[in-house]
Structure 1
Amino acid sequence: MPKMTPTDPYVSARLLMRPPVADDLARFYAIFGDPETQRFNPAGPVASEEQARQILTERIEKWRQHGYGSWAIALRERPEWIIGFGGLSWHPLGAQRTVNLGYRFDTQVWGMGLATEMALAALEYGFEHLGLDEISATVRANHQASRHVLEKAGLRLVDTLNDVPDAEPSLIYTLMRSDYQGG
């Protein structure tokens, strides 16, 4: 398997995934500021371009710290148009920290199987290139589409987490390296 550097784009059949850069701000704000993409996020949409800049800067910094993080995602046929952000990142999970699989896509590309394709690519990257032992995801119980993506990618429901006050618990999905079927 070829050695990759953290800045190399990662590709799947239809997607080009690369570390985010400051110039991604407009697309980051468009996607994370859209109430529809944030419907299941208890925090709601990003409220301002300045808040989006802060979050994007944190994601860029996490790449510097860990050598991986949430990708900026484009279609291979249109690499200049960022359609989403997602991938693997260190994330608090109750009292521990875990590598979390997460994603948000522009509503224009929903229903095309791209979230599943990105999730499978992220699992491959995590297990085969980063040597991770476990990858988890946290999802709201009523977010059926995201639950379906996680299940299609091979993650299994393992626990719940009371992470949002006055709300139903989130669901924790996990895939262990020993159960990973390979890309």
Structure 2
Amino acid sequence: MGDWRHVRTPRLWLDEPVDTDAAALFAIHSDPASWVHLPSGVLTDPAAGEVMVGASRRRFERDGLAYWSVRDAEGGPVVGRGGCLGPDDAADGRGWWNLYYRFDQRVVGRGYATEMGAVAVEAAHAVAPDRPVLAYLLEHNVGSRRTAERLGLRLVWRGPDAGNPDPDAVRLVFLDREPDDLLVAALGQAAMPESGLVRP
């Protein structure tokens, strides 16, 4: 597939966001129920929806892939946001795809994140196969971890979650491949006394 801006799966419509998606995207990301694993992540500025739309548009234009607005009916309301996003600046050393998924709580549990995520990983491999796909999640977010595992990603790092208001929070990094030293360094683990890298 050459154009990943609009993709159809068995149950989902994945589309480059449009201006009218902004309110729904903000509603999903401002719902405390969708942030039970990281309460500090709740968005409070309604302009965030417009920012999300604009960010995806710019990345689709630049990279050919970004986060989609997700619908479960043709022309229906936005029920989620997800996909793979490239780095702000590939020159900064963080040359990976970030796999992301967040859904309206009314549709959580239907397997939409896995269905969308499978296409996102496929798209990332098609657009830039040398760029790893990374999922960055909290250890106590069991649902997100299971999604990453279902998508074939594997745990490569476990350690403290820098900047989290919860000092006991543990961050996990899942990848679609064995990480090289450059990637480990870019993730900031090389500077730690124990890298936290999980090897088979």
Normalising to structure 2: TM-score of the pair? 0.76
Within 2, Cα distance between the matches of 1:55 and 1:13? 25
29, 37, 59: which is aligned to 1:32? 29
- Aligned residue pairs total 171
CA contact (8 A) 2:79 2:103 kept: yes
**Secondary structure, aligned partner of 1:142:** coil
How much does 1:167 deviate? 4.5
Counterpart check, 1:164 vs 2:160:
no
Within 2, Cα distance between the matches of 1:168 and 1:36? 18
Counterpart check, 1:18 vs 2:15:
yes
Match of 1:180 in 2: none
Instruction: List alignment gaps of at least 5 residues for structure 1.
Output: 178-183
Counterpart check, 1:59 vs 2:56:
yes
CA contact (8 A) 1:46 1:52 kept: no
CA contact (8 A) 1:154 1:175 kept: yes
Match of 2:175 in 1: 174
Within 2, Cα distance between the matches of 1:102 and 1:41? 15
Q: Which has the higher strand share?
A: 1
Between Structure 1 and Structure 2, whose CA radius of gyration is higher? 2
Within 1, Cα distance between the matches of 2:128 and 2:56? 21
Within 1, Cα distance between the matches of 2:83 and 2:169? 25
Q: Which amino acid aligns with 2:98?
A: N
CA contact (8 A) 1:99 1:135 kept: yes
Structure 1 pair 112/44, CA: closer, same or farther in 2 (3 Å)? same
CA contact (8 A) 1:42 1:164 kept: no
Question: Root-mean-square deviation (CA), in Å?
Answer: 2.3
Q: Which amino acid aligns with 1:173?
A: F
Within 1, Cα distance between the matches of 2:71 and 2:11? 9
How much does 1:123 deviate? 1.2
How much does 1:11 deviate? 1.5
77, 96, 113: which is aligned to 1:81? 77
Within 1, Cα distance between the matches of 2:36 and 2:133? 24
CA contact (8 A) 2:33 2:105 kept: yes
Within 1, Cα distance between the matches of 2:118 and 2:54? 26
Match of 1:147 in 2: 145
Structure 1 pair 45/67, CA: closer, same or farther in 2 (3 Å)? same
Percent identity (aligned): 25
Q: Which amino acid aligns with 1:123?
A: V
